[in-house]
């Protein structure tokens, strides 16, 4: 084992050097089967290049890459892992891993995390930990926050809000100018989950939010009600676009591109869509979700995408080597750069792309998210709670008067789900 | 040896003697086998799974009738789905008179009638997913054609047809009726071909015309077509899955769910994999369908007996 560790450290050093010098003696051979869900065009190119580069480093190894549609993978992963499992698969961090960890389909790779190189990944270790063991490695993450039309803010003489009062005042000014403050498309529910994550963690703090996710707090708790009361201030003002329950998140984009709405609470992946829609960097900017309760530290949504080794993997050595390769500083810098994934690298030694949104996001997550990192509503809450919950959140956004009924329903679900 | 054989079996083998009785079963055997394998056995497996808690991966845990108690004892999603199913069942039947009306309209000899017929049949040919997508654009709030049209009459549906929990299910049913009407129309068109011209002639001599002719002479002869239209429409209504998945995905806030969609959500969707509960819903849906199918089989049986 020690010898193997040494060999792989050498391999890592090679990877870091990232040159064509592949004449090395360590013996990775056989097949490495990877199933990836990076099916969108840019991620797909990244994944294909990553597999090819890894194959070039290990000439005796035959890397078989299969790319599955990202949405389809969410339901296919079960079959893929249980019958004829591949060596490496993509998935998501935090509670989303639970079913596979509990069913023994993911391999415990705590030994990998004990290696010194993985110190550089320590910020994401918590999200990869279940039952005191680590079950995968992250390869990218991205910040959430408010993307807004800088030109509209300038026209109205507004600045980025830091507090909830400023936020409400800004929003009133935007509404007075005949626009909506926020666009959102809640047809597929999860966008409402983002709003809840932020308002709840800003009102009650990260710890409370995670307790709620773990089913330790009642949904009818007064602190939860306070979250909804804060949210309702915006809803009652008419801050959100009308009929948002009919739109997907993409269908809600034109409202902001056309200037009918001033801002969008979204993940950083939306920047590409804004730019495609014709917004320039002079029009588009980003700010951190404002503070609501000054007593709690800011927590941020930063969903992490991951690689895992299937417990039925045939070529464990190669699979572990691949995870080392993916998380190495050099590969991290490369795959997360602006012209590749355009997201944040998980390795602290990697270089951050000079894209302004990635820079701002990195700055925010490093210095201004001391409360904690949330993985997002549908990854922190167990699946059934997430689906019932997001449906309630959508209903609340359309009919805020139904709140008591919604909370009673969620509480009912909580008592049933967490046993 | 050959002598013994020839003495014990006189001239014909056992199979030869029972050929008439056996052959039909031999022909049926592959069908029965596969029907059992893919339909009958899975039905009982569903029953079995519905008594367990199972995530599709790990071990099954026996929970007895707990799922049914939760389902029938006030699961709100189930109630919404059930009533939506009832709405579907009744409103979907509108496809039958509508189909008959169009069939009567098209059943004449005019230049280019074949073209008109195929145009009317067109919605049934295109995929339900496409129909659903087209209708969801049609219903879009603000820009959708339907919203513009209701705007002429000063009606504004809050949230758009599909975004308003009071109208969404009806909006989807209307979309479903479009292809279903075409289906019923084609059934009636073929039925009308088989109407006996002599009877029509005789009725005409007796002075029957207009709706009396339709009601007393034509419709009774269309009874087989009506029966089939009824069956396919009921089954179509209970299977109404594609439209809901495409147009609203069960939303807004679950108000357009039907049982089949709820079953899918619980057992197979992204946040699902509660196989036991999904199976329990499937079992309930199975009995609802069984009720209708038994009724049809019974009435078919009665008709056949009456015909003899």
ipTM of this complex: 0.79
The alpha carbon of B220 is separated from its chain's Cα centroid by a whole number of angstroms, namely 24
pLDDT of A290 above 90:
yes
The shortest CB-CB distance from A394 to any of B251, B269, B272 is to B251
Q: Do the Cβ atoms of B271 and A242 come within 8 Å?
A: no
> Cis bond leading into B252, ω under 30°?
yes
The reported pLDDT for the residue numbered A216 is 93
Beta bridge partners of A296: none
Q: What share of chain A is helix, strand, coil (3-state, %, to 5)?
A: 50, 15, 35
Nearest to A245 among B56, B142, B252 (CB): B252
pLDDT confidence of residue A144:
94
User: Which residue has better confidence, B1 or A382?
Assistant: A382
Mean pLDDT score across all residues of chain A: 88
Tell me which of B77, B78, B163 to substitute to probe the interface with A (most A C-beta atoms closer than 10 Å): B163
Kindly give, in sequence order, each residue whose CB lies less than 8 Å from that of residue A268, ignoring residues fewer than 6 positions away.
A142, A143, A144, A145, A342, A343, A344, A357, A358, A361
What is the pLDDT, as a whole number, of residue A25?
Answer: 42
Low-confidence ranges of chain B (pLDDT < 50): 1-2, 4-6
Among A82-86, A125-129, B258-262, the range of highest mean pLDDT = B258-262
A324: which 2 tokens?
Answer: 């080392």
pLDDT at B227: 87
* Averaged pLDDT for residues A322-344: 89
Amino acid B308: pLDDT: 58
With CA atoms as reference, report the closest residue to B184 among B265, B104, B250.
B104
pLDDT of residue B239: 80
d(CA A136, CA A8): 18
Mean pLDDT of A206-234: 94
Q: Which residue has the higher pLDDT, A211 or A28?
A: A211
Pairing of strands A372-374, A299-301: parallel
Q: Taking residues A240-266, report their average pLDDT.
A: 92
* Residue of chain A whose alpha carbon sits nearest to that of B269: A75
pLDDT tens digits, residue range A19-45? 333 334 457 888 999 999 998 888 899
Average pLDDT over residues A302-322: 92
pLDDT > 70? residue A9:
no
**pLDDT (0 to 100) of residue A285:** 94
Kindly list the residues of chain B whose beta carbon comes within 8 Å of any beta carbon in chain A: 55-58, 70, 76, 140-142, 158-160, 162-163, 248-249, 251-254, 265, 268-274
Q: Which of B57, B76, B162 lies at the smallest CB-CB distance from A246?
A: B162
Strand partners, A149: A284
Binary contact (B141, A392; C-beta < 8 A): no
pLDDT band at A171 (very low <50, low <70, confident <90, very high): very high
Residue among A243, A384, A391 minimizing CB distance to B159: A243
What pLDDT, on the 0 to 100 scale, is given for residue A19? 38
The full set of domains in chain A, from first to last, is 2-141+303-350 (3.40.190.10), 144-301+373-417 (3.40.190.10)
């Amino acid at each position: 084992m020690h010898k193997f560790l040494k060999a792989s450290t050498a391999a890592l050093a090679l990877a870091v050097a990232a040159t064509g010098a592949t004449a090395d003696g360590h013996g990775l051979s056989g097949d490495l089967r990877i199933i990836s869900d990076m099916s969108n065009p840019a991620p797909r190119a990244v994944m294909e290049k990553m597999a090819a580069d890894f194959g070039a480093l290990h000439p005796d190894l035959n890397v078989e890459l299969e790319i599955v549609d990202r949405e389809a993978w969410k339901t296919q992963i079960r079959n893929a892992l249980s019958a004829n499992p591949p060596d490496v698969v993509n998935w998501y961090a935090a509670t989303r891993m639970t079913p596979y960890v509990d069913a023994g389909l993911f391999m415990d790779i705590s030994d990998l995390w004990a290696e010194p190189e993985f110190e550089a990944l320590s910020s994401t270790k918590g999200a990869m930990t279940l039952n005191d063991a680590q079950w995968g490695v992250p390869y990218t993450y991205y910040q959430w926050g408010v993307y807004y039309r800088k030109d509209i803010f300038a026209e109205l003489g507004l600045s980025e809000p830091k507090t909830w009062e400023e936020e409400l005042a800004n929003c009133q000014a935007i509404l007075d100018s005949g626009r909506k403050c926020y666009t959102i498309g809640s047809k597929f529910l999860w966008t409402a989950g983002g709003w809840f994550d932020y308002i709840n963690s800003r009102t009650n703090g990260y710890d409370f939010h995670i307790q709620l996710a773990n089913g330790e707090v009642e949904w009818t708790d007064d602190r939860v009600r306070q979250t909804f009361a804060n949210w309702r201030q915006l809803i009652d003002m008419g801050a959100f676009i009308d009929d948002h329950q009919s739109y997907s998140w993409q269908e809600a984009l034109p409202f902001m591109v056309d200037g009918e709405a001033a801002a969008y609470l979204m993940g950083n992946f939306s920047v590409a869509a804004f730019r495609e829609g014709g917004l320039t960097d002079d029009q588009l900017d980003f700010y951190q979700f404002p503070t609501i309760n000054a007593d709690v530290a800011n927590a941020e949504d930063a969903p992490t995408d991951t690689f895992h080794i299937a417990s039925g993997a045939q070529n464990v050595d190669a699979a572990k080597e691949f995870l080392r390769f993916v998380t190495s500083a050099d590969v991290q810098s490369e795959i997360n750069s602006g012209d590749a994934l355009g997201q944040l690298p998980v390795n602290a030694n990697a270089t951050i792309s000079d894209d302004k949104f990635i820079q701002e996001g990195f700055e925010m997550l490093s210095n201004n998210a001391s409360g904690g990192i949330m993985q997002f509503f549908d990854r922190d809450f167990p699946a059934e709670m997430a689906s019932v919950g997001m449906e309630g959140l959508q209903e609340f956004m359309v009919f805020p008067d139904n709140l008591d009924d919604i909370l009673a329903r969620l509480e009912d679900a909580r008592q049933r789900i967490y046993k | 040896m050959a002598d013994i054989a020839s003495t014990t079996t006189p001239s014909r083998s056992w199979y030869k003697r029972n050929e008439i009785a056996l052959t039909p079963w031999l022909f049926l055997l592959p069908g029965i086998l596969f029907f059992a394998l893919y339909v009958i056995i899975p039905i009982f497996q569903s029953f079995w799974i519905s008594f367990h808690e199972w995530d599709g991966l790990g071990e099954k845990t026996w929970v007895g009738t707990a799922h049914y108690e939760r389902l029938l004892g006030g699961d709100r999603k189930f109630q919404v789905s059930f009533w939506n199913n009832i709405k579907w069942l009744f409103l979907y039947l509108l496809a039958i008179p509508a189909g008959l009306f169009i069939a009567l309209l098209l059943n004449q000899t005019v230049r280019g009638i074949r073209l008109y017929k195929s145009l009317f049949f067109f919605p049934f040919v295109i995929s339900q997913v496409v129909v659903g997508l087209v209708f969801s654009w049609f219903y879009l709030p603000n820009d959708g054609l339907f919203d513009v049209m209701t705007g002429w009459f000063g009606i504004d549906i809050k949230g758009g047809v599909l975004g308003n929990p009071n109208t969404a299910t009806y909006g989807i049913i209307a979309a479903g009726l479009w292809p279903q009407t075409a289906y019923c129309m084609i059934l009636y068109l073929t039925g009308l071909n088989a109407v006996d011209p002599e009877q029509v002639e005789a009725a005409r001599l007796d002075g029957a015309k207009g709706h009396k002719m339709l009601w007393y002479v034509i419709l009774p002869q269309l009874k087989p077509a009506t029966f089939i239209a009824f069956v396919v429409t009921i089954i179509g209504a209970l299977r109404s899955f594609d439209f809901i998945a495409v147009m609203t995905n069960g939303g807004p806030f679950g108000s357009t769910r039907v049982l089949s969609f709820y079953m899918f959500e619980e057992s197979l969707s992204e946040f699902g994999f509660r196989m036991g509960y999904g199976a329990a819903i499937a079992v309930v849906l199975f009995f609802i369908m069984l009720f209708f199918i038994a009724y049809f089989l019974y009435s078919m049986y009665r008709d056949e007996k009456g015909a003899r």
